[in-house]
Each structure stands twice: as structure tokens, then as C-alpha cells.
């Protein structure tokens, strides 16, 4: 909440708290209310939704793959989205088409990974992980080809997209609904997640339908990631660090972890984006850089303090 | 109550036949020992009983219904298994872990039922773990982890207990304690128990019935006093085994 207010207040037009309340809730048009409603509110909400989706997806992937290094991008979803987006930039598409290309790339990558992992009968988590990592590496190569063969102008926007950038972002009601559905669905399966993270055999013996739960987790986390990447490009660190941070702070129970991830992930990205557009204003930093600059030291601090205990 | 009916069961792994035409009827308040040498198929048979592995032939019925027809959650509320691997040492508290045993019975989506908490606490106390309630699982010793796994199984309140090497990592005192606790629980709830073990003496002491897996898929099923003889055991393990008797007790040792 505080980060949302901070985000609304900061920017190239100075707005005070009093003005904020006045502009948001009065109907009279003014410069402030215009800045708020047309630029800052949409951008802040986009940051919140993206951060929430990424943290949620990261938490799910860590349970699904039972691997602490798992993040929303580990299965190559962001790579597919990046190739889609970069190709769109290459042919000069913007806005709507850029988003659609990214989303299409992400979906293609999801089905490619699942198709290969599933090809030879029953799919296992190990095969899924290996396939994802290999496909990711493949996308990485394509991204490098696109970067090295494009004009300087395009490369600038490509790099911004790759590092995560909210300047062109907006969210609509479908995005809010998806985040809400993820939150509710995540809470519904949270008890099963608590069991699954302890191992497949144990989960089976305690009555969790592991195969169908994993399918559900894979596809929902993939769609959350694809959507987040479509909104803001591949913003790093949120999906990896937020769930870990919360677990280290004691929220290991998914009934608590899932909602906390949505809140903290969202707030963290809002804060990071506010800094991204104010630190060296009027220039803007890619928000992915800021998430790393804040995320890495904070994470190391928490890690150190919990080890000492 | 639980009635398990194993009917002309065949199990094989790759080309190795583990059991052929196995017939066992297990009624309530019965304790069965499952013996056989390494790789004889003890674990495979236990896994078949929870539907993890399909039988190549035959039927496994729990209270008259095939275990393959039961929903996973329903099966888990009736049959509990202690895996040989025990539980993994992850960062979670002992109490959080033992509460997982209540998973098949939980109704509420979010909140823990008082009854579930009481059962879990009782299970911890049964294995002398109440002092460790708030400890993180990754700080426990091997024996403590094994007791925690047993407490989790007890909290699951199954009607059929399946135990794969339950005495792993346990000192002599806890081996006896574990079987005393489980024997009391089985008697109290009219449950039944199957325990796969390498400890012939423990099996003889606590199980009145035995399934002894032999080479080539053959098996001997019957009362412990009848099945656990020098001759049968020597054949099963492929090494001479002797016994000494003192009253009702019988002690086995490799000659």
C-alpha cells in the first residue's frame, strides 16, 4: 500500500499527498489528475499485477520442480516471449502487436517444452526441467542472433524489453482477474502444495493426486509468467527472490506464502519501478536493473541473518 | 477396521518374478511381518498395496473394493505407509511436518481443526518428540527423523499400517517402543499392520503372521511359529540360519 502511494507521488511532476487525494477523488480535470490517471495509476497497477504474477509463478515453480533455483523463467517461457517480442520490434511493431507477439512466443514455448517432455509417455519433473533449460538456451541463441543483426535503434528497445520495462505497460480487467484467480486457486491448493514440496512419494501416500496437480501447476504458472512477461518484459529476480525471502522469513506454509507472494511481489515491483523512473530522471532505468540492485543485497542480508540463527 | 484381501497376485520387475500367485487375507487387529532377502520384493509388494504399482495379475481388495478403484484421498485415509527413505530434512518445523499426516482427513481449506492438532500432538508424544515440536526438521538426527516419520504415520490414523523397515536408524529401546505403540494403536482401533523388515527377531516378537518371500516368486504365508523355522529362513536368505528357543521366545542368528 505504502509503495503504491509512493509510486503515485513520485515522478517528473511533483505531487503532494494532499494533492494526490484531491486529484484522485475529484472530478475536476487538472494537470495533476491527468498525470495520475493517464500515466501513473495505470503504470503502478501494471507493476503491481506483474510483480504479483511473477512471485506467484516463482513460488509455484519452486514447488513443482522441487528446486530452489527454479524461477518463472526456468522453463524457457520468457525466452519464447522474448523471441516473439524482439521479432516484433524488428519488423517495427509496437504496443498491441508487440504484446501479442510476446504472448504468442511464450505460449509456443510452453507447448514446445511440454510436448518434448511429454513425448515419450509419462512426463517427469526431471525431464520437464531439462527440456526447459535446453529450450531456454536455444531461445537465448536466437535472441543473440536477433540482437547482433539488428540496427542500433532497435537494439536499444530490445535491450529495454529484455531487462524488463514498464513504460509502455498497462493492464486491463483480464489481468486483474488472472491475478485474482491465481491467488484464489493458489490458496485452494495450498495444503496440497505443502505436502507436494515434501516429496512425490509422500504426497501420493497422503492422498494428493500428484500427476494432475503438477499439470495444473505447470500450466497455471506458465500462463502467469507469459502474462507478466507480456505486460512488462522479462523482469528478473522478483519471481526467484520474493518466494525465497518469504520462506526464509518463516512463511513456509503455502496458505500464508501464496497471498504474501502476491502482495510482496506486487509491492516490490511497484517500488522498484518508482525508483526506476525517478533515480536518474528524466532518464528511465529498466525496472529489471532496479529489482536486481535492491533484490540481491536484501536477499543476501536475510539469508545471512537466518543462517546465523 | 480393515480387511485386506490379496488374491493370486503376480508381481515382476523387468524379467524378475517377485511373487507368483500370492494369496493373503489380512483381518482386523492382525500384525504381519514381511520378510525376504534383499531385492526379494518386499518394498514392491508394499507399493503395490497402495496402488503405486499395478499388479501384473491378481487382485488387491480393501474392504471388498479394489485399491485401484479407490480415490487417492480415500485410499490415503485408510492406508498409511512409512517409506524406507523416511522423510527429507527440509526447513520446516517438526509440528508442521506431523500435521501433514492429517492431510487426507482435513476438511477445512484454510484453518487447522482443533481435533487434527490434538491428534498430531498425541502422535508426537507417542514417540517422545513433544520437546522437539518447534525444531526445524533439518536439525534432527537420523533416529529423530525416523520417529517423526512414524509420528506422521500415526497422525494419519490409517486402518492399515504399511511399514517399510520401520526400525531403520532406531536404537534398541525405540525399536521396542515403536512396536509397542503401534501394537496398542492397532488393537485400539481394530486396524491391521504389515511390516517389511530385515530383523527376523523383531518380526517374530511382534507379528503373529508372516509372509516370507522366497527365490523365484514363491512365498510362504502363515503363522510366525510355523513359517519362521531354521529350514525356511535358511532357504529364503540362502545362508544357514539357526535358532535358540527359551519358552515362547525364539532367537534367530546366522550360523
B148: nearest Cα among B81, B94, B102, B100: B94
Q: What is the pLDDT of residue A22?
A: 57
Q: What is the pLDDT of residue A12?
A: 47
Contact A61, A224 (CB under 8 A): no
Q: What are the pLDDT digits (tens) for B14-49? A: 888 888 889 999 999 999 999 999 989 999 999 999
Q: What is the pLDDT of residue B107?
A: 80
Helix (H, G, I), strand (E, B) or coil at B118: helix
Give me the mean pLDDT over the A144-148 stretch: 91
A196: nearest Cα among A42, A21, A62: A62
Among B92, B97, B111, B157, pick the best mutation site for testing chain A contact (most A Cβ within 10 A): B92
Which chain A residue lies closest to B89 (C-alpha atoms)? A198
pLDDT band at B124 (very low <50, low <70, confident <90, very high): very high
Question: Would you say residue A265 has pLDDT above 60?
Answer: yes
Min Cα separation A13/chain B (Å): 45
* Cα angle A215-A212-A190, degrees, rounded to a multiple of 5: 85
Q: How far apart are CA B5 and CA B3, in angstroms?
A: 6
Provide the whole-model pTM.
0.87
What secondary structure does DSSP assign to A120-166, as a single string? TSS--HHHHHHHHHHHHHHHHHHHHHHHHHS-HHHHHHHHHHHH---
- CATH number, domain B4-254: 3.40.50.300
Question: Would you say residue B210 has pLDDT above 70?
Answer: yes
Mean pLDDT lowest among A100-104, A187-191, A286-290: A286-290
Question: Would you say residue B5 has pLDDT above 70?
Answer: yes
pLDDT band at A18 (very low <50, low <70, confident <90, very high): low
Q: Where are the domains of chain B?
A: 4-254
A78: nearest Cα among A295, A294, A288, A274: A288
| Adjacent-strand bridge partners of B16 | B13
- Tell me whether the omega of the peptide bond preceding residue A282 falls within 30 degrees of 0, making it cis: yes
* Stronger pLDDT, B54 or A101, i.e. the higher one: A101
Q: Do the Cβ atoms of B104 and A207 come within 8 Å? A: yes
Instruction: Write the residue in A191, A204, A247 that is nearest to B52 by C-beta.
Output: A204
Q: What is the pLDDT of residue B164?
A: 94
Share of chain A above pLDDT 90, in %: 33
Measuring CA to CA, how many Å separate A283 from each of A40, A156, A275? Answer: 16, 14, 11
Q: What is the pLDDT of residue A83?
A: 92
Give ipTM to 2 decimals: 0.88
| Residue B166 Rama label (left phi>0; alpha psi -120 to 50; beta) | alpha
Q: What are the pLDDT digits (tens) for A266-285? A: 999 988 988 888 887 777 78
Share of chain B above pLDDT 70, in %: 100
Spell out the residues 6+ positions from residue A235 whose beta carbon is closer than 8 angstroms to its own.
Answer: A50, A51, A54, A163, A164, A228, A269, A287, A288, A291
pLDDT band at A232 (very low <50, low <70, confident <90, very high): confident
Place of cell 509510486: A7
> What domains sit in chain A, N to C, each tagged with a CATH number?
2-308 (1.10.3470.10)
Q: What is the pLDDT of residue A34?
A: 63
B83 neighbourhood in chain A, CB within 8 Å: 201-202, 205
Give me the mean pLDDT over the A23-45 stretch: 67
Specify the pairing of strand B241-246 against strand B209-213: unpaired
Instruction: Write the residue in B50, B97, B110 that is nearest to A255 by C-beta.
Output: B110
Question: Would you say residue A5 has pLDDT above 50?
Answer: yes
Q: How far apart are CA A116 and CA A131, in angstroms?
A: 7
Give me the mean pLDDT over the A34-45 stretch: 74
Q: What is the mean pLDDT of chain B?
A: 91
Instruction: Write the residue in A187, A206, A209 that is nearest to B100 by C-beta.
Output: A206
Question: Would you say residue B132 has pLDDT above 90?
Answer: yes
Give me the mean pLDDT over the A93-118 stretch: 86
Q: How far apart are CA A251 and CA A260, in angstroms?
A: 8
Amino acid at each position: 500500500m505504502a509503495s503504491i502511494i509512493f509510486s503515485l507521488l513520485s515522478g517528473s511532476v511533483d505531487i503532494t499527498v494532499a494533492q494526490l487525494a484531491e486529484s484522485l477523488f475529484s472530478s475536476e480535470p487538472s494537470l495533476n489528475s491527468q498525470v495520475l490517471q493517464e500515466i501513473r495509476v495505470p503504470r503502478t497497477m501494471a507493476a503491481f499485477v506483474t510483480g504479483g504474477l511473477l512471485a506467484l509463478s516463482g513460488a509455484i515453480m519452486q514447488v513443482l520442480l522441487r528446486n530452489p533455483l527454479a524461477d518463472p523463467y526456468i522453463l524457457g517461457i520468457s525466452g519464447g516471449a522474448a523471441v516473439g517480442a524482439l521479432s516484433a520490434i524488428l519488423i517495427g511493431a509496437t504496443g498491441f502487436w508487440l504484446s501479442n507477439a510476446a504472448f504468442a512466443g511464450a505460449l509456443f514455448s510452453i507447448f514446445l517444452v511440454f510436448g518434448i517432455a511429454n513425448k515419450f509417455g509419462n512426463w517427469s519433473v526431471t525431464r520437464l526441467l531439462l527440456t526447459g533449460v535446453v529450450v531456454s538456451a536455444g531461445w537465448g541463441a536466437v535472441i543473440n542472433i536477433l540482437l547482433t543483426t539488428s540496427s542500433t535503434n532497435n537494439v536499444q528497445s530490445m535491450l529495454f524489453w529484455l531487462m524488463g520495462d514498464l513504460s509502455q505497460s498497462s493492464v486491463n480487467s483480464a489481468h486483474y482477474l488472472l491475478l485474482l484467480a491465481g491467488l484464489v486457486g493458489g490458496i485452494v491448493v495450498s495444503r496440497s502444495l505443502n505436502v507436494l514440496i515434501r516429496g512425490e512419494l509422500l504426497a501420493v501416500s497422503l492422498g494428493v493426486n500428484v500427476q494432475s496437480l503438477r499439470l495444473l501447476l505447470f500450466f497455471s504458472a506458465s500462463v502467469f509468467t507469459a502474462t507478466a512477461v507480456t505486460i512488462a518484459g522479462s523482469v528478473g529476480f522478483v519471481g526467484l527472490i520474493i518466494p525465497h525471502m518469504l520462506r526464509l522469513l518463516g512463511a513456509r506454509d503455502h496458505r500464508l506464502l501464496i497471498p504474501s507472494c502476491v502482495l510482496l511481489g506486487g509491492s516490490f515491483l511497484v517500488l522498484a519501478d518508482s525508483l526506476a523512473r525517478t533515480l536518474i530522471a528524466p532518464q528511465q532505468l529498466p525496472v529489471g536493473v532496479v529489482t536486481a540492485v535492491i533484490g540481491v543485497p536484501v536477499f543476501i542480508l536475510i539469508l545471512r541473518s537466518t543462517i546465523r540463527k | 477396521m480393515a480387511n485386506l484381501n490379496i488374491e493370486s497376485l503376480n508381481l515382476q520387475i523387468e524379467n524378475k518374478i517377485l511373487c507368483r500367485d500370492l494369496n493373503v487375507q489380512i483381518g482386523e487387529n492382525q500384525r504381519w511381518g514381511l520378510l525376504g532377502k534383499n531385492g526379494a520384493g518386499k518394498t514392491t509388494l508394499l507399493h503395490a498395496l497402495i496402488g503405486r504399482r499395478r499388479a501384473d495379475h491378481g487382485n488387491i481388495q480393501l474392504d471388498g473394493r479394489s485399491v485401484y478403484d479407490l480415490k487417492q484421498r480415500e485410499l490415503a485415509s485408510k492406508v498409511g505407509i512409512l517409506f524406507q527413505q523416511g522423510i527429507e530434512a527440509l526447513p520446516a518445523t517438526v509440528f508442521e511436518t506431523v500435521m501433514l499426516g492429517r492431510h487426507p482427513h482435513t476438511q477445512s481449506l484454510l484453518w487447522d481443526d482443533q481435533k487434527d492438532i490434538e491428534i498430531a500432538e498425541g502422535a508426537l508424544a507417542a514417540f517422545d518428540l513433544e520437546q522437539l515440536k518447534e525444531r526445524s526438521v533439518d536439525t534432527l538426527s537420523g533416529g529423530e527423523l525416523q520417529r517423526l516419520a512414524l509420528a506422521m504415520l500415526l497422525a494419519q490414523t490409517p486402518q492399515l499400517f504399511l511399514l517399510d523397515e520401520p526400525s531403520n536408524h532406531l536404537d534398541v529401546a525405540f525399536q521396542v517402543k515403536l512396536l509397542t505403540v503401534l501394537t496398542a494403536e492397532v488393537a485400539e482401533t481394530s486396524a491391521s499392520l504389515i511390516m517389511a523388515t530385515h530383523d527376523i527377531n523383531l518380526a517374530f516378537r511382534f507379528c503373529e503372521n508372516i509372509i516370507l518371500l522366497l527365490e523365484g516368486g514363491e512365498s510362504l504365508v502363515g503363522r510366525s511359529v510355523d513359517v519362521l523355522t531354521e529350514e525356511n529362513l535358511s532357504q529364503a536368505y540362502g545362508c544357514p540360519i539357526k535358532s535358540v528357543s527359551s519358552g515362547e521366545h525364539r532367537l534367530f542368528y546366522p550360523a
